[in-house]
Structure 1
Amino acid sequence: MIRVKLKNKLALTGAATMATLFLGLNANAARMDMVDVSNNNGYMSTAEYTSMRNEFGVKAVTVKISEGGTYKDPYAASNIANVQAAGLYINGYHFARYATKAQAIAEADYAGQAAKAAGLPVGAVLATDVEAKEQGILSQATNDRNNAAFMKEIQKFGYRADIYTSGSWANNKMTIKGKTGWVAGYPFVPAGKQWYTNNNAWQWSGSAHFRISYGGFDVSQLYTDYYTAGQKSTVKPTNKDAVKANNQEANKNTSKPSNSAKWVKESKTYALKTAVKLRTGASTASSVIAILPAGTTVKTDQAIIQNGYRWVRQPRFNGYGYLATGPVSNTLEYVKSGAAHTYYTVKYGDSWWSIAQRNGLSMTTLASQNGKTIYTTIYPGQRLVVR
């Protein structure tokens, strides 16, 4: 973190001047320049993105497009359309599963086609998110070769390429050159320090909160214009006082490690992609009740993010069982959501009450199974899970 004190009206020069100007609101605070969203966040409306822009200073959104060679994010198209409608810069990312050059090229073709189908505009960034177990066992040289192959192939679709990874993997598991890369380093912001200033972006929190959006979000600070279409951002918030206050609050909440994670209501049905251990508590140190095989349907009533994983609670005949849906960085790695769901499209004049009554639900149940509260505004065209 660059700290600058002005004494006797001395002019700032060189790098210190540019750093201070770029930090804008507060030289001691990380900014919420960019948000990344995926199916984990559920349906996101234009109003939610507009609030992020006007009240929190968000300039760009990066949307999950695909994963591996078989999964396309079902919310990609609506996210892309609603981000653009809110006047924000739009980008995409692909969660990499490749372990060979041939697989990297195949995944790039899959991601590029999925991005085109979802409406990601030509010229946007389509980053490769490289943090999975498949890459963790490979050498730096092999990951570098595979990442280069993915990025070269993705450019054939008209997209600009980049790499997202964790700080512990950058220049360890793979090479991230200066003025490239989107690097994650959290959950807390060390006082008086900015991280990864030589890269395109620093993801500094995985639990930021926005006023009209439910749940925690990944937020990043931008150091270059790469994620704003290669140009100085023209996105302007309408409430600068709110931006300043919300920015300071976000930094205050992440200024030190937090052990205050809370369980939230979550009435969902998951189908397991792979075998998962059902435990007596929300910890990998807890005893194993059973190993649930791939294909098992799991109904949950609560969820929590703690100890590096997203955990869900399963009501059982004699209490509860707990299972991880995946690491925090990819919270549905072990499951696929939406099993046997029925959806309702919101119409003009609808309310939480009218939709709940029509489908035999309480308002709180309807809201919670959609990752919302009864105080969240719903909009015509929005799809809600009703079964």
Structure 2
Amino acid sequence: MTERKTVIDLASFQSHLTVDDYKAIGADYAIVKTTESTNYVNPYIRSLIDRSAGGGIKGFAFYHFGRFHNDAQAVAEANYFIANSKAQANVQPGTLMILDAEISNMPTSSVIAFLNTVRNAGYHPGFYTYKYLLPNFNLEAIHPNMDMFWLAAYPLANGKAAGKNPDFNYFPSANYVDMWQHTDNLLGYNVDGSITLTDNAINLFNPSEAPTPEPNKPIEQEKPAIKPTLPAHNWVDDLGVRWFAEKGTFTSNTDLHLRWGASPSSSVIAMLHAGDIVKYDAWARTNGFVYVRQPRPNGQYGYVAVQDARTNEPFGKFE
């Protein structure tokens, strides 16, 4: 019987996790977001690797959120992914490098072009998508061009916390699945959790060659992501929503409502358009979205939904 391993995936939204958090989660492997499109590099790659390795993660892979709609752009994004993974995480040939395919109108031919670019550069290409998006792709055509298939489907909706052992009565049946992402809130830590289904998935993490913390650099355990004058590292508001302090900039790629509360029913402050920028100091998952909080004059705050919490598709880019 194939051994099951717990895998988490890490992006900027998990930058607050500490070494102790990773120890409590107890995952075996991690997949770290490197890039998105050709204009975003995750600024927390090194700290995510260092802290998770210090918390017991034994093997790593990396992923890219694809934004392409044609073969040429797919190749450009794959090369951007490879170059920045080398620069930021010193990835070595043979590393598992995964395409996160979640947007609409992404051609199968372009997926294949991306995967082949990764493979030709000496890496193991992986393909990730959601069960409900599978009809958008020709999986049989993609299969020979990928070394690992990672499929997402959540038995528990609305961000409910899930354990490490999913209910296989809800398994998203499909061909070639090596790993199942079964929750976006593993053990209540607001981190995506997956379980391996094949030996192939386990072998591709190359645990004996996992990245290690930078030499002569102590592992950061409680370094705050923001200035001490901002609110506590994380807290629960009056509505029971847990917020995480993170200072950043969000640039919208579509029309969005800036509201007085983190709810679709809250009053609108303004309409944001593509290219509009919001500086935020905290984020939370609630009401089916990821919201960020914008500090405003007189101690007030604005809130905007910046990502679909079900599909993880962002509505812009983060810096």
Q: TM-score, with normalisation over the residues of structure 1?
A: 0.60
**1:326 is matched with which residue: 271, 284, 307?**
307
How far apart, in 2, do the equivalents of 1:282 and 1:231 lie?
38
Pick from 21, 27, 30 the counterpart of residue 61 of structure 1.
30
Match of 2:191 in 1: 217
Aligned match for 2:184, one of 198, 206, 215: 206
| Counterpart position of 2:277 | 296
1:76 is aligned, of 29, 42, 45, to: 45
User: Deviations for 1:1-20, whole angstroms, at most 9, x for unmatched residues?
Assistant: xxxxxxxxxxxxxxxxx3xx
Q: Distance in 2 between matches of 1:81 and 1:97?
A: 28
Query: How big is the shift at 1:307?
Result: 3.1
Unaligned runs of 5+ in 2: 157-161, 210-238
CA distance in 2, matches of 1:71, 1:180: 24
Aligned 1:185-334 pairs, distance under 5 A: 185-186=153-154, 188=156, 191=167, 193-196=169-172, 198-209=176-187, 215-230=189-204, 262-264=241-243, 266=245, 268-274=247-253, 276-284=256-264, 286-293=266-273, 294-300=275-281, 303-316=283-296, 320-328=301-309, 329-330=311-312, 333-334=315-316
Aligned to 1:347: none
SS in 2 for 1:186: coil
Q: Distance in 2 between matches of 1:265 and 1:87?
A: 23
State how many pairs are aligned.
269
Equivalent pair of 2:280/2:292 in contact (CA under 8 Å): no
Aligned counterpart, 1:34: 7
Partner of 1:183: 151
Larger Rg: 1
Report SS of the residue matched to 1:325: strand
Q: Once the two structures are superposed, what CA deviation does each residue of 1:31-53 show, in whole Å capped at 9, x if it has no partner?
A: x610100122116566654x15x
**Is the partner of 1:161 in helix, strand or coil?**
strand
Separation in 2, partners of 1:331, 1:120: 25
User: Which residue is 1:336 aligned to?
Assistant: 318
Q: Residues 87 and 22 (structure 1 numbering): CA distance in 2 closer, same or farther, change over 3 Å?
A: closer
- Runs of 4+ aligned structure 1 residues displaced above 4 Å come to 43-49, 81-87, 177-180, 189-192, 231-235, 315-320
Tell me if structure 2 keeps the 8 A contact 1:225–1:233: no
Amino acid at match of 1:39: S
Q: Is the 8 A contact 1:34 1:62 kept in 2?
A: yes
Specify which structure has the higher proportion of strand.
2
1: distance between equivalents of 2:118 and 2:205? 21
Cα distance, 1:84 vs structure 2:
5.3
Alpha-carbon distance change, 156 to 76 in structure 1, aligned in 2, over 3 angstroms = farther
Q: Displacement, 1:195?
A: 1.2
Q: State the secondary structure of the residue aligned to 1:120.
A: coil
Cα distance, 1:225–1:74 mapped onto 2, change above 3 Å:
farther
Q: CA deviation at 1:75?
A: 1.9
Q: Secondary structure at the match of 1:145?
A: helix
Partner Cα separation in structure 2 for residue 261 and residue 225 of structure 1: 41
Secondary structure in structure 2 of the residue aligned to 1:216: coil
CA distance in 2, matches of 1:109, 1:124: 15
Secondary structure at 1:40 match in 2:
helix
1:317, CA displacement in angstroms? 5.1
**Does the Cα contact within 8 Å between 2:257 and 2:304 map onto a contact in 1?**
yes
Q: Is the 8 A contact 1:273 1:336 kept in 2?
A: no
1:340-379: CA deviation from partner (whole Å, max 9, x where unpaired): xxxxxxxxxxxxxxxxxxxxxxxxxxxxxxxxxxxxxxxx
Aligned 1:92-171 pairs, distance under 5 A: 92-117=62-87, 118-132=89-103, 136-138=104-106, 143-170=107-134
* Change in CA separation of 1:316 and 1:71 when aligned onto 2, cut-off 3 Å: closer
SS at structure 1 position matched to 2:177:
coil
Structure 1 equivalent of residue 136 of structure 2: 173
**Conserved? CA contact 1:278–1:290, under 8 Å:** yes
Q: CA deviation at 1:97?
A: 0.5
Contact 1:144/1:175 (8 A) holds in 2: yes
Q: 2:95 touches 2:205 (CA, 8 Å); kept in 1?
A: no
Identity of aligned residues (%): 26
Q: Write the letter of the residue equivalent to 2:114.
A: F
Which digits, 9 at most, give the CA deviation of each residue in 1:90-133, with x for residues without a partner?
A: 1000000010000001111111111111212321210100102x
SS in 1 for 2:184: strand
In 1, Cα distance between equivalents of 2:197 and 2:208: 15
Letter in 2 for 1:176: L
Alpha-carbon separation, structure 1, partners of 2:57 and 2:292: 35
* Aligned-residue offset at 1:296: 3.2
Deviation at 1:148, TM superposition (A): 0.5
SS in 2 for 1:208: coil
Report the alpha carbon displacement of residue 187 of structure 1 after superposing the two structures with TM: 5.4
